[in-house]
C-alpha cells in the first residue's frame, strides 16, 4: 500500500515511514501512534518553555476560534480511568482540539446543559456503585433536575472487572441516561475489563477520529478555554508508574499476627531510595507479583504440558511457565471465561453448578461461584478441552494489586510500609493462595518488588489540623490509620484522634498494639475502641461499638470531626448503617436528618472510605 505523504514529510521520510509500518501489526501501530503523539506534545512543551510569550502569541494569532470544546470527564477510584482520561486529553490536544480535562468530583453539574461534546471515562465500584468522586454527578444525572441535553454529543468509556456481576454498570447507566436526556451518542460505549487497553485503545482511536470530525474542521486550531476546575493536560508525570514500576528493595517483611492463629498478616517495609517517589497518608501502593509457583506447576500438570515449551501470542514469545507465572491472571475468573470454559467441558461431565452460576439473572450465584473458584478449581472440577495455547489466549493479563500505605512519608522518609493479609484457604480438596498476598508473604528481606504509588485524593486527612478525626479500620483496614496518626503526631496537629479497631482475637491479631498503646499514653491517640469478634460467644464488630458510643461520637461529629472507614466493602456498609442510626438517635432528629447529614458529610469530604 502506498500512502500520500500528509504534507509535512519529505519523500524519503514518507518512504522510511511506509517501510516501518508495513511490518507492524495493529497493536504496534496503535502504540506507535500514541508514542508519536507524546513526542509531538513534548516538542510543543519545549518550544513553549523556551519562548513562552512568543509561542503563546503565535498560537493565539494563528488560531481560528474553535467551534466547541471537548470536555473529558473522569470518575476514578484507583487511578485507571484517570490515567486513560489524561492520555486522551493530551492526545486530543495534540490533534488540535480544544479540550478540557475535569475530575468529576470538581465538575459543576450545572455546566452540563451547556456542554456540546463530552467524553466520560468512568469505573464501577462497590456493588455497581460509582466511584466516590462521581456520586454527586451520578445522582444529579439520574435525578429530576437533570437537564435536557439535545445539543450534546457524547461517548462513554466504562471501566470494570467482569469478575463482578454488575460489569461496567456505572458506565452503562451513564451512557443510557445521557441518551435518555436527548444527547447524541457519537460512538458506542466501550466496556473495559482488567485488560483495559484491549478495549480502550481501539475505542479511543475511533472516538478521537469522530471528535476530530465533529470539533475541528480541517485547518482549524482550537483556542484553549479557561475553567478553574480544569486539570493541566500535562501533569508532571512521575518517572515511575503502573507501566514502569520502581523496583523497591524489601527492607523488612515480618509477620505481625502471633503464632496460634491461622491469620497471617505481614508488615512490609520497602525502600524508595533513589526513586524520587512521594506519597501522602491515604495513598495506596500498586504492587506487581508473580503467581504462586505451586499453582503454576498444578496448572501445567493438569494440562499435561512442560513449562519449558515456548508459545508466541500477540507478538510476544515466552515459555509456558512464564506465561502462567508472570503474564496471566490465574486466580480471578470472569463470567466470560466461565462461558467459554462451559462450552469446552468434556462430554459426560456434570456441570450443573457451573450452569447455575451462568443462568440468566443469577447474580448472587455467579458472585458466589467467582468468589470461591480459581482457574485450577474449574480445570479440575469441570475437565475441559483446553490446550496450554488456547488457555493462554483466553486468560486475562496479570494485573497489579493495591495495598493501603501504612506509613507517613514525613516519618518513614525513604520507606513505604504495607500491612498485608495473606489469603490462604482450603477449598475443593486443595490448599489455595491469593496470588499477590501469597507472593508478598514469601518475599525475602533483601528481595526486590516492582511498585508504584496510586494517589487517592478522596481519602485525606482534614486540611484543618484542628479538626478531630474518627478512624474505623478493622483487620488490615487499620493500615492507612497508622499513616494518619504518624502524620498527625509529626505535624503537631491539634485535633483529637479516635480509632475503632477490630480483629478476631485480642491475643494474636491486635495489629500494631504497642504503637497504639504508646500513642494513647502520650495522648496522641485520644480514644481507642476494640472489637474482638471471636473472643466471646456473640460476635462483636466495630459497628456495635459505634452504636454503643453513639452519644460521644455524635458530639465529636457536631464538633466537625472527619469520619474515615477502611477495610472490607461489607464492613463499610454495616458501619455506615450504624453511624446513621447513632446520628438519628443522638441528634433526636430521626432518619431523614441522619441521611441529610451523611450526604452533606460525603460531599464535603467529612465521610471518606477506602474499601476493597
Ligand X SMILES: Cc1cc2nc3c(=O)[nH]c(=O)nc-3n(C[C@H](O)[C@H](O)[C@H](O)COP(=O)(O)O)c2cc1C
Binding footprint of ligand X on the chain (CB under 6 A): 76-82, 123-128, 131, 159-161, 164, 166-169, 569, 611-612
**Count of residues near ligand NAP by CB under 6 A:** 21
What is the rounded (10 degree) CA torsion for 501, 505, 508, 509? -30
Nearer to ligand NAP, 290 or 541 (CB): 541
Contact status: 420 vs ligand FAD (CB under 6 A): yes
Binding mask 417-436 for ligand NAP (x = CB under 6 A): ----x-x-------------
Q: Tell which residue, 541, 603, 539, has the closest CA to residue 567.
A: 541
Neighbours of 567 (CB within 10 A): 24
472 scored as a contact of ligand NAP (CB under 6 A)? no
- Smallest separation, CB 207 to ligand X (Å): 18
Contacts of 227 by beta carbon, 8 Å cutoff, 6+ apart: 100, 102
Phi (first) and psi of residue 160, to 5 degrees:
-165, -165
Kindly tell me which of 456 and 476 has the beta carbon lying closer to ligand NAP.
476
Q: What mask, x for binding ligand FAD by CB under 6 A, covers residues 223 to 242?
A: --------------------
- The yes or no reply on residue 479 touching ligand FAD (CB under 6 A) is yes
Does residue 123 touch ligand NAP according to CB under 6 A? no
Nearest alpha-carbon partner for 469 in 483, 456, 455: 483
The one of ligand X, ligand NAP, ligand FAD, none whose footprint includes residue 610, by CB under 5 to 8 A per kind, is: ligand FAD
Q: By CB under 6 A, tell whether 423 contacts ligand FAD.
A: yes
Is residue 437 part of the contact set for ligand FAD (CB under 6 A)? yes
Q: How far is CA 577 from CA 121, 237, 589, 591, 602, in A?
A: 30, 40, 16, 11, 14
Q: Of 373, 488, 606, 609, which one interacts with ligand FAD (CB under 6 A)?
A: 373
DSSP sequence for 215-284: H--TT--PPP---TTPBPSS----S--SSS-EEEEEEEEEE-SPTT-S--EEEEEEE-TTT-----TT-E
CA-wise closest residue to 269 among 505, 514, 482, 503: 482
Instruction: Tell me how far, at minimum, the Cβ of 470 lies from ligand X, in Å.
Output: 22
Give the C-alpha separation, 6 to 14, whole Å.
9
Distance of closest approach, residue 422 Cβ to ligand NAP, in angstroms: 9
Site for ligand NAP in 506-535 (CB under 6 A): 533-534
The span of 313-321, 338-346, 370-378, 485-493 binding ligand FAD (CB under 6 A) equals 370-378
Q: Which of 421, 542, 546, 584 binds ligand FAD (CB under 6 A)?
A: 421
- 27: partner contacted, choices ligand NAP, ligand FAD, ligand X, none (Cβ within 5-8 A by kind): none
| Closer of 266 and 386 to ligand FAD (Cβ) | 266
Q: In terms of CB distance, is 386 or 439 closer to ligand NAP?
A: 439
Determine the straight-line distance between the first and last CA of the chain, rounded to whole angstroms. Answer: 51
Residue 295 binds which entry of ligand NAP, ligand X, ligand FAD, none, with Cβ cut-offs from 5 to 8 Å by kind? none
Contact between 110 and ligand NAP by CB under 6 A: the answer reads no
CB nearer to ligand FAD: give 73 or 375.
Answer: 375
Please say which residue, 190 or 286, places its beta carbon nearer to ligand NAP. 286
For ligand X, which is the closer residue by CB, 78 or 351?
A: 78
Instruction: Point out which span in 56-64, 343-351, 418-426, 545-553 binds ligand FAD (CB under 6 A).
Output: 418-426
Identify whether the C-beta of residue 238 lies closer than 8 Å to the C-beta of residue 276.
Answer: yes
| C-alpha torsion angle, residues 507, 508, 512, 518 (rounded to 10) | 20
Strands of 401-404's sheet in order across: 401-404, 284-287, 448-454, 246-255, 265-271, 415-421
From residue 433, alpha-carbon distances to 269, 399, 402, 421 in Å are 22, 16, 17, 11
| Minimum separation from the CB atom of position 430 to ligand NAP (A) | 16
Q: Does 567 bind ligand NAP (CB under 6 A)?
A: yes
Q: What angle do CA 231, 236, 239 make, to 5 degrees?
A: 140
Told to check if 419 binds ligand FAD by CB under 6 A, we report yes
CA 154 – CA 135 distance, rounded (Å): 20
Which range touches ligand FAD (CB under 6 A), out of 41-49, 100-108, 249-257, 366-374? 366-374
Measured distance CA(253)–CA(261) in Å, rounded:
18
Residue 503 binding target from ligand FAD, ligand NAP, ligand X, none, CB below 5 to 8 Å by type: ligand NAP
Under the binding rule (CB under 6 A), the answer on residue 570 touching ligand NAP is yes
Of 4, 67, 330, nearest in space to 217 by CA: 67
The CA-based diameter of the chain, rounded to the nearest angstrom, is 83
Of 31 and 425, which CB lies nearer to ligand FAD in the complex structure?
A: 425
Closest CA to 102 of 238, 236, 282, 226: 226
Residue 457 contacts residue 257 (beta carbons within 8 Å): no
H or E segment and range at residue 388: helix 388-394
> Does residue 341 belong to the site contacting ligand FAD (CB under 6 A)?
no
Name the DSSP class of 295. Answer: H
Nearest residue (CB) to ligand X, 264 versus 363 = 363
CA dist 205 and 33 (Å) reads 9
CB of 357 vs ligand FAD, minimal distance in Å: 12
> Residue 127 touches which of ligand X, ligand NAP, ligand FAD, none (CB < 5 to 8 A by kind)?
ligand X
CA dist list (Å): 389 to 291, 293, 314, 334, 608:
18, 19, 12, 19, 45
* Residue in 325, 404, 408, 549 binding ligand FAD, rule: CB under 6 A: 404
Beta bridge partners of 265: 421
- Which residues contribute to the site for ligand FAD (CB under 6 A)? 78, 284, 331-332, 371-374, 401-404, 419-421, 423, 425, 427, 434-438, 476, 479, 610, 612
Chain residues in the site for ligand NAP (CB under 6 A): 371, 421, 423, 474-477, 502-504, 533-534, 541-543, 567-568, 570-571, 574, 612
Amino acid at each position: 500500500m502506498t500512502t500520500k505523504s500528509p504534507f509535512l514529510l519529505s519523500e524519503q521520510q514518507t518512504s522510511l515511514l511506509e517501510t516501518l509500518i508495513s511490518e507492524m501489526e495493529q497493536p504496534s501501530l496503535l502504540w506507535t501512534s500514541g508514542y508519536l503523539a507524546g513526542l509531538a506534545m513534548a516538542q510543543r512543551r519545549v518550544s513553549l518553555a523556551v519562548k513562552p510569550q512568543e509561542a503563546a502569541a503565535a498560537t493565539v494569532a494563528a488560531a481560528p476560534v474553535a467551534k466547541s470544546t471537548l470536555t473529558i470527564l473522569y470518575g476514578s477510584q484507583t487511578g485507571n480511568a484517570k490515567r486513560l482520561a489524561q492520555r486522551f486529553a493530551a492526545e486530543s490536544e495534540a490533534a488540535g482540539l480544544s479540550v478540557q480535562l475535569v475530575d468529576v468530583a470538581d465538575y459543576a453539574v450545572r455546566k452540563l446543559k451547556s456542554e456540546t461534546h463530552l467524553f466520560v471515562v468512568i469505573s464501577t465500584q462497590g456493588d455497581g456503585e460509582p466511584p466516590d468522586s462521581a456520586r454527586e454527578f451520578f445522582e444529579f444525572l439520574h435525578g429530576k433536575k437533570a437537564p435536557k441535553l439535545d445539543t450534546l454529543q457524547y461517548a462513554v468509556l466504562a471501566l470494570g472487572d467482569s469478575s463482578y456481576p454488575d460489569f461496567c454498570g456505572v458506565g452503562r447507566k451513564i451512557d443510557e441516561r445521557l441518551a435518555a436526556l436527548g444527547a447524541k451518542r457519537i460512538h458506542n460505549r466501550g466496556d473495559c475489563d482488567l485488560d483495559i487497553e484491549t478495549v480502550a485503545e481501539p475505542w479511543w482511536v475511533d472516538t478521537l477520529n469522530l471528535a476530530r470530525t465533529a470539533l475541528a474542521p480541517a485547518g482549524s486550531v482550537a483556542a484553549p478555554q479557561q475553567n478553574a476546575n480544569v486539570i493541566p493536560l500535562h501533569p508532571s508525570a512521575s518517572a515511575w508508574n503502573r507501566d514502569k514500576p520502581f523496583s523497591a528493595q524489601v527492607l523488612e517483611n515480618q509477620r505481625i499476627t502471633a503464632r496460634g492463629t491461622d491469620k497471617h498478616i505481614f508488615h512490609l517495609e520497602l525502600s524508595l531510595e533513589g526513586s524520587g517517589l512521594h506519597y501522602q497518608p491515604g495513598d495506596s501502593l500498586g504492587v506487581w507479583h508473580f503467581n504462586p509457583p505451586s499453582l503454576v506447576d498444578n496448572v501445567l500438570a493438569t494440562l499435561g504440558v512442560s513449562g519449558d515449551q515456548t508459545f508466541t501470542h500477540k507478538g510476544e514469545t515466552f515459555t509456558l511457565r512464564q506465561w502462567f507465572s508472570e503474564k496471566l491472571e490465574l486466580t480471578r475468573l470472569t463470567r466470560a471465561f466461565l462461558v467459554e470454559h462451559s462450552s469446552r467441558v468434556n462430554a459426560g461431565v456434570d456441570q450443573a453448578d457451573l450452569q447455575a452460576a451462568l443462568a440468566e439473572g443469577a447474580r448472587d450465584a455467579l458472585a458466589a461461584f467467582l468468589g470461591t473458584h480459581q482457574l485450577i478449581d474449574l480445570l479440575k472440577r469441570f475437565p475441559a478441552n483446553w490446550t496450554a495455547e488456547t488457555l493462554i489466549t483466553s486468560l486475562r493479563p496479570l494485573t497489579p494489586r493495591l495495598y493501603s500505605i501504612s506509613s507517613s512519608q514525613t516519618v518513614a522518609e525513604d520507606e513505604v510500609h504495607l500491612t498485608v493479609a495473606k489469603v490462604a484457604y482450603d477449598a475443593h480438596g486443595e490448599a489455595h493462595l491469593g496470588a499477590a498476598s501469597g507472593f508478598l508473604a514469601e518475599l525475602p528481606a533483601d528481595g526486590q518488588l516492582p511498585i508504584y504509588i496510586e494517589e487517592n485524593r478522596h481519602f485525606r486527612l482534614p486540611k484543618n489540623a484542628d479538626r478531630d478525626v474518627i478512624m474505623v479500620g478493622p483487620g488490615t483496614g487499620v493500615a492507612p490509620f497508622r499513616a494518619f496518626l504518624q502524620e498527625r503526631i509529626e505535624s503537631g496537629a491539634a485535633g483529637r484522634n479516635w480509632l475503632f479497631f477490630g480483629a478476631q482475637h485480642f491475643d494474636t491479631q491486635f495489629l500494631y498494639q504497642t504503637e497504639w498503646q504508646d500513642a494513647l499514653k502520650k495522648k496522641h491517640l485520644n480514644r481507642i475502641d476494640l472489637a474482638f469478634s471471636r473472643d466471646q460467644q456473640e460476635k462483636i464488630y466495630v459497628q456495635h461499638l459505634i452504636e454503643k458510643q453513639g452519644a460521644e461520637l455524635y458530639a465529636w461529629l457536631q464538633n466537625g470531626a472527619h469520619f474515615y472507614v477502611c477495610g472490607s466493602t461489607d464492613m463499610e456498609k454495616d458501619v455506615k448503617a450504624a453511624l446513621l442510626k447513632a446520628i438519628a438517635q443522638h441528634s433526636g432528629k430521626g432518619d431523614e436528618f441522619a441521611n441529610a447529614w451523611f450526604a452533606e458529610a460525603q460531599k464535603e469530604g467529612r465521610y471518606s472510605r477506602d474499601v476493597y
